[in-house]
Every structure is written in structure tokens, then in C-alpha cells.
Amino acid sequence: MNSFVDTIKYFIYITAELTVLFLGISTIVAFILMHLPQEKIKNWMSGKGILSNFVGALIGALTPFCACSTIPLTLGFLEAGIPFGAIMSFVISSPLLNPIILTMLVALMGWKVCIAYFIIVFGGAILFGIILEKTGGAKLVKNVRIKSGGPRENSEIPKAFLSKLKISFLKAWGDFRAVLIYLLIGVGIGSVIYGYLPQEFVLKFAGPGNPFAIPIAAAIGVPLYIRAETAIPIGVALMQKGMSIGAVVALIIGGAGMAIPEMSMLASIFKKKLVAAIVGVIFATAVIGGYVFNMIL
């Protein structure tokens, strides 16, 4: 009964949280794009070669958002015509790197862990952004645009602040309605797993005595949907029980980077092959990062 109550509470809390975040961030993005010419955005993220991926990953690292909050920004970047590789670098780095996560890593695990984590994830975001673009991932973006009440390019922008805010919110609401079913399905699955998967299960199959602990920890992190801010304290506790730091890092990257709600919402704008590729990229980053951590620390 306790697990059932916890599951329901989790579902309500996460749904409410993601709703507020999605609408709030979507409104802000729409408001900014209303005043920011598309050419200026393209110039920031359209550098030659690896530069565009570097800027995309950097913007992802500077945005203090959780995994599902990257979706509104991704939609905005697609509408603005940002290069696909830069968008993919952003999508990968955004849920895994932000000032809050880095601050918690320093506080709970030290500077060495924080620096190593940043280098591995940031480098992975750049590398895999390039790979996804070179392998034709741009062809797997669905040929749809979410309709809303927001202004279109070259349309007249009202001068009154409240009018601008209203138009921005209407656009955010239109985007939200289009992905709501994906969000509810993802949060529902994640809530059931969250409520009934005991912590001892994670430790049993991803403990230090298991040579496959790191890939198992990364795989277990996928359905848990734990924000990095939640995963880091849990990881510290598991380390105190004997789990290797590599397995903990793999769990953090897997859980925060491959959240089911985010992947469900990505499926509304990307085809299944691309969503699967993104999952594979983050899983590879988690596994590689975990083994590197065990070697250097």
C-alpha cells in the first residue's frame, strides 16, 4: 500500500512539475525568439565544423533545466533552422550538465569527480552530435511543426508586454498539448517502476563484485527517471555501501539522460530510429564514462 501511495504521489508531483516547467520554459523561449532574429541564433550555433557542436553542448551545459525541459528549447532550435548536429549536442548535454549538477558533484564528490564528469559528458555530447549528423540523423526529424498561437516569422509583433506574453503562452500551450500524451505515458511508466523497484535490487545487480556492474547500472538508470539532483545523493549513499564510483556515474548519466518522459516527448518530433540512437548514445556515454572513472579515480 505504501508503494502504491508513493507511486501515485510521484506521478502527480512529476506531472505537475513537468507541466509547470514545460509551459514556463516554452513561454520564455517563445518570448525570446519573438525578439531574437533567427539569423542571430544561427550565427551562434552555426559555426564551421566542430564549433557548432561545441556551442550546442555549451548552451546545454549552461541551461539549468532538467531532462524534459530540453524539449521546448529543442523545438525552438528546430524552428529557427539550427544545424542538426548542434541540436543533438545540446539534447545530449542539457540534462546531464548544468550549474546545479556540477555544484552538487563538487560538494558531495569533490573537484576531481566534477572535472572528470564534465570532460566526459561534454566531450561525448560533441562527438556524438557530429556522428548523428554525419550518419544522416537529420532525415529522421518528423516533417511536422506543432501549430500554436505564437507569431510566425515576419508577422507583426505587438508592442505591449502583456500582449507579447499572451502570444508566447499560447504558443507554449499549443506545443504542450501536442506532447501531453507522450508525457503522461512516460511519467506513468516511470512512476510504477520508481514505486516498486527496491534500492537493494540496484545494489545486487550493480555491486562492485559484478564485472558488468557499470553497463547494468546504466541500464537500470534508464527507466528510473531520476533527476541528476536526486541521483547524486543516492549515488553517494550507494558508494558508501560498496558500489564503485564508475557504476554510480553510469547510473546518474543513464537515469538523468535517458528519462522516459523525455524520450517519449522526443518521439513526438523525432522518428523512432533517431530516439533509439539518442538512447544508445547516452547509454554509451554512461558506460564509457563509468569505466573511465574507475580507471582514473
Going from N- to C-terminal start, the domains of the chain cover 2-296
Query: How does pLDDT run along the chain (297 residues), one tens digit per residue?
Result: 567 887 888 788 878 877 887 788 778 877 876 776 656 666 777 777 788 899 889 888 876 555 556 777 787 788 777 889 999 999 889 888 866 677 778 877 888 888 999 999 999 999 999 999 999 888 888 864 544 433 344 456 777 888 888 988 988 888 788 778 877 876 787 677 667 766 677 667 766 677 788 998 888 776 665 666 667 777 777 777 777 888 888 888 887 777 676 777 788 888 989 988 988 888 888 899 899 888 887
Give the phi and the psi of residue 141 in degrees, each rounded to 5: -85, 130
Q: Considering only CA atoms, which of 174, 169, 221 is closest in space to residue 193? A: 221
Whether this model's pTM surpasses 0.85: no
Q: Using the 8-state DSSP alphabet, how is residue 36 labeled?
A: S
Torsion of CA 71, 72, 73, 77, to 10 degrees: 100
Cα 69 to Cα 19: distance, rounded to the nearest angstrom: 10
Query: In the block, which residue shows the cell 516569422?
Result: 153
